[in-house]
């Protein structure tokens, strides 16, 4: 015999269907669950969007600023308002104004911002007597050039001509009476193929002249030439003739005083000489001209 018991209606309503989610004891409809999940996703997207808004604003500002800078740069480099119309120079004593203007002509009519000032300064420095140039922009359309001139410190025989040189040995200009007399020996034997070696030679010549001025005042005026062509000697040619005098480059004073005391005696008893060598310790080497010819 089979017994069947009917369940109450309320019990049947609470019976859970297989696979239906519940919250607590109450089952939730799949449609309601999807609606809640969608609201959660929208909320997350909204929060993510709010977090990105400041970064997007900053990026937009950067792009706008870059665009404005590019536009300003383009206008400055293309506007005829900024084309160079005048070039001014500081007053110069020796550098010729016409030569300076000629060197600066390449800048006229060009945009003042795109102009390479270093290249322009290099061109102006090729003008005689110009040691260095500082070029500055004067907006909107002018350039100002501050000129530093070279100072003639000595004389040198270069390529067969006597030229004025500065303290670095750089040739400035041909020596003429127009620049005034320079009573000083002429440096010869300079190595014009190697600028660095020539500077060293000139530095030695100037050092020797300073030493003479400090220890034997007036002797430099008796010297017409100083040959710096060899590293192991300085060769002096005197104004009143006589043999060339070889000086020790490491000890200028070696035997110099002794020679000064006896040079007249040598000239009287031996006449002209081929050379006088003062480089050896406590010894003066003298070769008469007749012995050299023989």
Is residue 245 domain-resident?
A: yes
Is residue 68 domain-resident?
A: no
**Cα gap 92→147, rounded to integer Å:** 7
Say how many CA atoms lie within 13 Å of 217 toward its Cβ.
1
Q: Are strands 154-158 and 283-288 parallel, antiparallel or unpaired?
A: unpaired
pLDDT of residue 30: 60
**Residue 129 backbone zone (phi > 0: left; psi -120 to 50: alpha; other: beta):** left
Encode the chain (294 residues) as per-residue pLDDT tens digits: 444 445 455 444 444 555 555 545 555 556 555 676 677 777 777 777 767 677 777 777 787 778 777 776 766 677 888 899 999 999 999 999 999 999 999 899 999 998 999 999 999 999 999 999 999 999 999 999 999 999 999 999 998 999 999 988 889 999 986 666 778 899 999 998 887 899 999 999 999 999 999 999 999 999 999 999 999 999 999 998 889 999 999 999 999 999 999 988 888 887 778 899 999 999 999 888 765 555
Tell me: do 142 and 183 sit in the same domain: no
Tell me: do 130 and 186 sit in the same domain: no
Is residue 175 domain-resident?
A: yes
Single residue among 149, 175, 191 that ends a domain in this structure: 149
Which ranges in 139-194 belong to alpha helices (H)?
none
Is residue 17 domain-resident?
A: no
pLDDT of residue 38: 73
pLDDT of residue 42: 73
Which residues share a beta bridge with 8? none
Measured from the Cβ of residue 175, the count of other Cβ atoms closer than 10 Å reads 19
pLDDT of residue 55: 74
Domain count, the chain: 2
Is residue 15 domain-resident?
A: no
CATH number of the domain that residue 98 is part of: 3.10.20.310
Domain span including residue 106: 82-149
Tell me: do 164 and 272 sit in the same domain: yes
**Cα gap 256→137, rounded to integer Å:** 57
Is 214 strand, coil or helix? helix
Q: Please, which residues have CB within 8 angstroms of residue 146's CB and are 6 or more apart in sequence?
A: 90, 133, 134, 136
Tell me: do 172 and 265 sit in the same domain: yes
Tell me: do 177 and 94 sit in the same domain: no
The answer to whether the bond into 106 is cis (omega within 30° of 0) is no
Q: Please, which residues have CB within 8 angstroms of residue 11's CB and are 6 or more apart in sequence?
A: none
Is residue 48 domain-resident?
A: no
C-alpha 85 chain-centroid distance:
27
**Cα gap 119→175, rounded to integer Å:** 30
Single residue among 149, 166, 190 that ends a domain in this structure: 149
**Cβ–Cβ under 8 Å, residues 114 and 107:** no
3-state secondary structure 44-62: HHHHHHHHHHHHHHHHHHH
Task: Please give the model's pTM, rounded to 2 decimal places.
Answer: 0.68
Which residues share a beta bridge with 227? 188, 235
């Amino acid at each position: 015999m089979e017994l069947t018991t009917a369940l109450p209606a309320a019990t049947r309503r609470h019976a859970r269907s297989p696979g239906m989610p519940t919250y607590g004891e109450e089952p939730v409809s799949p449609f309601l669950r999807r609606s809640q999940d969608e609201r959660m996703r929208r909320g997350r997207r909204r929060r993510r969007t709010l977090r990105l808004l400041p970064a997007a604003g900053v990026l937009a500002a950067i792009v706008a600023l870059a665009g404005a800078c590019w536009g300003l740069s383009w206008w400055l480099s293309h506007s005829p308002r900024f084309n160079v119309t005048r070039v001014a120079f500081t007053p110069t004593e020796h550098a010729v104004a016409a030569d300076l203007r000629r060197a600066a002509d390449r800048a006229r009519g060009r945009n003042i911002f795109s102009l390479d000032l270093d290249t322009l300064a290099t061109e102006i420095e090729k003008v005689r007597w110009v040691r260095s140039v500082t070029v500055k922009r004067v907006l909107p359309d002018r350039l100002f050039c501050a000129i530093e001139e070279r100072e003639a410190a000595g004389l040198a025989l270069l390529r067969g001509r006597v030229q004025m040189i500065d303290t670095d040995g750089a040739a400035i200009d041909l020596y003429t009476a127009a620049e005034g007399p320079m009573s000083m020996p002429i440096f010869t034997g300079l190595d014009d193929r190697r600028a660095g070696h020539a500077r060293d030679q000139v530095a030695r010549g100037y050092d020797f002249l300073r030493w003479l001025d400090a220890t034997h005042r007036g002797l430099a005026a008796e010297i017409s030439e100083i040959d710096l062509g060899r590293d192991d000697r300085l060769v002096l040619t005197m104004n009143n003739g006589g043999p060339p005098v070889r000086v020790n480059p490491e000890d200028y004073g070696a035997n110099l005083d002794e020679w000064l005391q006896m040079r007249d005696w040598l000239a009287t008893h031996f006449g002209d000489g081929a050379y006088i060598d003062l480089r050896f310790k406590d010894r003066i080497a003298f070769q008469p001209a007749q012995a050299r010819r023989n």
